[in-house]
Amino acid sequence: MSKRIELCGQTFGSWLVIRYQGINDLRQPSWYCECICGTKRIVVGQTLRSGRSSSCGCTKNEAIRKSKIIHGQSGIKGGVRKSREYSAWEAMKRRCATKQMNTWLYYGRWGVKVCKRWEKSFLHFLADMGKCPEGLTLDRINPYGDYKPSNCRWADWKTQANNKRPRG
């Protein structure tokens, strides 16, 4: 049997090797390690040195979570609020598509639609509309028209109040 390679005190990825644990059932030298997140685990020395084990999995989970965040404006659990632009985009889509919404009667029932570019992508909506200035909300220039770049603007309440079609 070859001489054991000393790993105590060394770091491998997010693992810090605390102490030698002994030989496991497969006759592999194993080490007691602590991950940067605080998880403690016994890890085979060869997997540490080869890079096959670089953390307890916490860094992988964090990378997966970050990869799913596209624009960071849709709000996350934990009290982070949605951006005004994202809220406007969601409400616009609901008004036109969700029959259970009270406002659907004045949008979806009238045949008002969201353009394909915006319907599928908040990023396209944001690129076309830009940031919402303070005190303004999403407005359709032609109240009979669809939600699309050429027919939408950020407007104040007074402008919107003067830009309504008759309800009914």
Q: Which residue did the predictor score with more confidence, 63 or 151?
A: 151
**Alpha-carbon distance 20 to 18, whole Å?**
7
> What's the chain's Rg over C-alpha atoms?
28
Q: Domain residues for 20?
A: 11-68
Number of compact structural domains in the chain: 2
96 part of a folded domain: yes
| pLDDT value of residue 4 | 79
With respect to residue 143, please indicate whether it lies within any of the assigned structural domains: yes
Co-location of 36 and 93 in the same domain: no
Same domain, yes or no: 64 and 102: no
> Mean pLDDT across the stretch 62-85?
64
In a domain, 4, yes or no: no
**Average confidence score pLDDT of the chain:** 85
- Cα 134–chain centre separation: 24
Q: What is the pLDDT of residue 16?
A: 92
Residue 5 domain flag: no
Dump strand ranges (E) for 129-168: 137-140, 152-155
Band of residue 69 on the pLDDT scale cut at 50, 70, 90: low
Q: What is the pLDDT, as a whole number, of residue 64?
A: 65
**Strands 40-44 and 137-140, bridge-based pairing:** unpaired
pLDDT band of 168, cuts 50, 70, 90: low
The pLDDT assigned to 73 comes to: 64
Quick one: 53 and 95 in the same domain? Answer: no
What proportion of the chain, given as a percentage, has pLDDT over 90? Answer: 49
**Residue with structure tokens 């194993």?**
30
Distance of CA 66 to the CA centre of its chain: 7
Total residue count of the chain as it appears in this document: 168
Claim to verify: residue 97 and residue 63 sit in the same structural domain: no
pTM of the model: 0.54
Q: Is residue 79 part of a domain?
A: no
List the structure tokens of 59: 């860094």
Question: CA-CA distance, 125 to 147, in Å (whole number)?
Answer: 10
Residue 23 placed within a domain = yes
pLDDT at 161: 87
Distance of alpha carbon 106 from its chain centroid, rounded?
31
Would you say residue 3 lies in a domain? no
Distance from C-alpha of 146 to C-alpha of 156, rounded to nearest angstrom:
19
